[in-house]
Amino acid sequence: MDRLRFGTGGSPFSSQKRSTLSGIERIAELGLECLEVEFVHGVKMSAEEAARIRERSAALDVKLSAHGPYYINLASLEKQKIGASRAMLLQTAKACQAMGADRFTFHPAFYQQRSSEEVYPIVKEQLQLLRTSLLENGITAVQIRPELTGKPTQFGNLEELIRLAHEVEGVALCVDFAHAQARSGGQVNGYDDFAGMLTQIKSELGKATLEDMHIHMSGINFTAKGERNHLVLEEAEIDWRALMQALKDFKVKGLVICESPNLEEDALKMQEYYEGIGGRG
């Protein structure tokens, strides 16, 4: 990616219509630079719509990503749900290819009382199968990016994601820093923690990974069970300014998708702050 770009998860609220096309126009008007298309309740997009989205986003230089359906569980105890999850991810990838998005993210799985060591190989195998079916469908330029999840019952901590990105071709990560705070019960928050995560990514996956990151950010409300709901930045404990400083210092490039309830307002707030600060080191 050419630089760190800021945008929203779903079309900005101030878009003329709640369509992706209208969202792309609004992103560009606001001076934001990317948009995550939400397929969280299912993948629905006609070929005509995808073609128009592809054309407008390229013309306005708005980079696109997608978020797969919420009901995915690649390690479900019910076998047919695993296959259905993989099918939904393939559909998401096809939509990405059609609209010109180079990545999609999703919540990969639940532990369901099992250990990380038990669930990891199941998820890994499913992602390998997914990658194979992407290639069989001629989808070579769409990255599979499992997300750092917000609850300790969900598979998807930083270690698991790094390992998947390391071991499965075509897999990268989506780092949700608000989820990192929530799943740690609030322990992960502040410059040293964020910088520590970036250091871990850099040392295990290499500098190139930091040059094309996919990031989710918002304020977040959580309990001992992890994520409850998203908050606007100023109402949350998360030290978002420290995160911006860490992203600057580590020369991170890629997409920052704002998932605060006020979408574009917080996206612009982060972008403005990020652009106003200098990097250290």
Q: Tell me the HSE value of 79 on the side-chain side, using a 13 A CA sphere.
A: 0
CB of 149 to Zn ion, least distance (A): 8
Site for Zn ion in 55-114 (CB under 5 A): none
Measured from the CB atom, is 105 or 245 closer to Zn ion?
A: 105
The length of the chain is: 281
Q: How far is CA 17 from CA 47, 108, 259, in A?
A: 20, 31, 19
CB of 107 to Zn ion, least distance (A): 6
Q: Tell me the HSE value of 229 on the side-chain side, using a 13 A CA sphere.
A: 5
CB of 67 to Zn ion, least distance (A): 6
User: Segment contacting Zn ion (CB under 5 A): 28-36, 92-100, 115-123, 147-155?
Assistant: 147-155
User: Segment contacting Zn ion (CB under 5 A): 88-96, 143-151, 192-200, 238-246?
Assistant: 143-151
CB of 15 to Zn ion, least distance (A): 20
Pick from 236, 239, 248: nearest CA to 274? 248
Collapsing DSSP to helix, strand or coil, 77 comes out as: coil
Pick from 33, 27, 1, 28: nearest CA to 12? 27
Burial class (CB in 10 A: 0-12, 13-18, 19+), 182: buried
Measured from the CB atom, is 245 or 260 closer to Zn ion?
A: 260
User: Segment contacting Zn ion (CB under 5 A): 54-62, 68-76, 146-154, 223-231?
Assistant: 146-154
CB of 203 to Zn ion, least distance (A): 25
Number of shown-chain residues binding Zn ion (CB under 5 A)? 1
Residues interacting with Zn ion, by CB under 5 A? 147
